[in-house]
Amino acid sequence: MCWSATADLVAGGAVTAVGVGCVARAVRSRPRAVPLAALPLLLGAHQIIEAVIWNDGGGSGPAVVAWVVIALPLLPLWVPAGVWCAVTPHARRRLLVPLAAGVVTAGVLGYVLARSTVTAEVRGHTMGYAIGLPEAGWLLAGYLLATVGSLLLSGERGLVLLGVLVALAAAVCTALWRWEFISTWCAAAALCSVVIYGWLRPSPAVSR
């Protein structure tokens, strides 16, 4: 997710620290939001795992498998489930479609990964992953509906902002990554983690 092992390790440690703060805030003021608050912890671990992959020079070891499992089957399931838990009960009905999309997408991606050999290789200032996914546009659509869609449909201002930022960051980061110029996913993960931390700020009513 970053351009070197050092960058991934530093960014992963910083995002993980923000994640600890997010979970602490959620436990105190919004217990239902703990799963979503823990997302930065997952993103931080994701970057630290990639630091190991950089040090190994790519390959197909356990770290590569762990990285891909987080990126593909886990995130499209974790994000909509976390949003569903965090929002008020009356807002959950409109999240059923993104949640269902996440379940289906995660199931298909998990099945494909279970039958594939995943490898990683250094490509310029990026890390490339050979996964063997089918060329299916509906998989990408399902992934985006589950992740970005659930945030945009949450009805919570902070989460809607996060959804917009995720969509913009994904477009920019994907372009830079495809050109093998530099990987900036770590910066996107850090920005999203800070937004989650701000969203979890206790309201005045809770603070009193």
What digits encode the pLDDT tens for the residues 39-93?
Answer: 999 999 999 999 999 999 999 999 999 999 999 999 999 999 999 999 999 999 9
Here the tokens at position 99 are 């949640």
Residue 173, pLDDT score: 66
At residue 64, the 3 state secondary structure works out as: helix
pLDDT at 137: 81
Measuring CA to CA, which residue among 62, 41, 44 is closest to residue 53?
62
Backbone φ and ψ for 84, nearest 5 degrees, come out as -60, -40
C-alpha distance across the termini of the chain, in Å: 40
Quote the strand ranges of 42-185, DSSP E. 119-123, 126-130
pLDDT at 204: 54
Cβ burial 31-40 (10 Å sphere, 16+ → b, else e): eebbbbbbbb
Task: Give the chain's residues under pLDDT 50.
Answer: 179-181, 205-208
pLDDT of residue 64: 96
Q: What is the pLDDT of residue 203?
A: 63
Nearest-angstrom CA–CA distance, 58 and 53: 5
Q: Which residues contact 127 (CB under 8 A, 6 or more apart)?
A: 50, 53, 54, 58, 120, 121, 183
pLDDT of 207 reads: 38
Q: What is the pLDDT of residue 104?
A: 96
CB 12 within 8 A of CB 41: no
Take residue 142 and report the two structure tokens written for it: 């399902």
Domains, the chain, ranges and CATH? 5-207 (1.20.1070)
